[in-house]
């Protein structure tokens, strides 16, 4: 089983739609959680950190459920510019010291 799993998509949604991405992780000792955005052929960039209490940044809402080892990202009122791959990232102390483990990414296409 992979340490971080995501639905690879693609998710094709119309502008203005609400879309939700899910992520599960296997290491219960994982310590911090993030969503990154990656545009085609570019480096990943931090979208938002994810806290146990849930957090919101404009149209984006992230939730963490430690008991279920589950992370989510909700995007409201989708824009064309939201089209990208969204990476679920977990920081854990595991086989390779303290490092970041990436999910495979979920591809989103927002259509006009």
Interface residue list for another protein (CB under 8 A): 31-32, 34, 41-46, 49, 87, 89, 91, 95-105
Pick from 29, 28, 32: nearest CA to 52: 32
Q: Residue 102 CB, nearest distance to another protein (Å)?
A: 4
What minimum distance in Å lies between the beta carbon of 100 and another protein?
5
Q: Shortest Cβ distance from residue 46 to another protein (Å)? A: 5
Instruction: Kindly tell me which of 78 and 83 has the beta carbon lying closer to another protein.
Output: 83
- Residue 15 CB partners (closer than 8 Å, separation 6+): 78, 79, 80, 110, 111, 112
Residue 17 or 22: the one with the smaller Cβ distance to another protein is 22
Which pairing describes strands 11-14 and 106-111: parallel, antiparallel, or unpaired? parallel
Whichever of 19 and 87 has its CB closer to another protein, that residue is 87
49, HSE (Cβ side, Cα atoms, 13 Å)? 7
Burial-class residue 31 by CB neighbours within 10 Å (0-12, 13-18, 19+).
exposed
The least distance separating another protein from the CB of residue 105, rounded to whole angstroms, comes to 6
Q: Which is nearer to another protein, 17 or 102 (CB)?
A: 102
């Amino acid at each position: 089983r992979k340490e971080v799993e995501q639905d690879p998509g693609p998710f094709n949604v119309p502008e203005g739609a609400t879309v939700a991405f899910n992520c599960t992780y296997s290491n219960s000792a994982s310590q911090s959680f993030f969503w990154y955005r990656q545009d085609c052929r570019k480096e990943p960039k931090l979208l938002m950190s994810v806290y146990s209490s849930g957090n919101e940044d404009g149209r984006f809402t992230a939730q963490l459920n430690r008991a279920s080892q589950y992370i989510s990202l909700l995007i409201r009122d989708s824009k064309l510019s939201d089209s990208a791959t969204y990476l679920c990232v977990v920081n854990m102390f595991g086989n390779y010291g303290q490092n970041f483990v990436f999910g495979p990414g979920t591809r989103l296409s927002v259509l006009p």
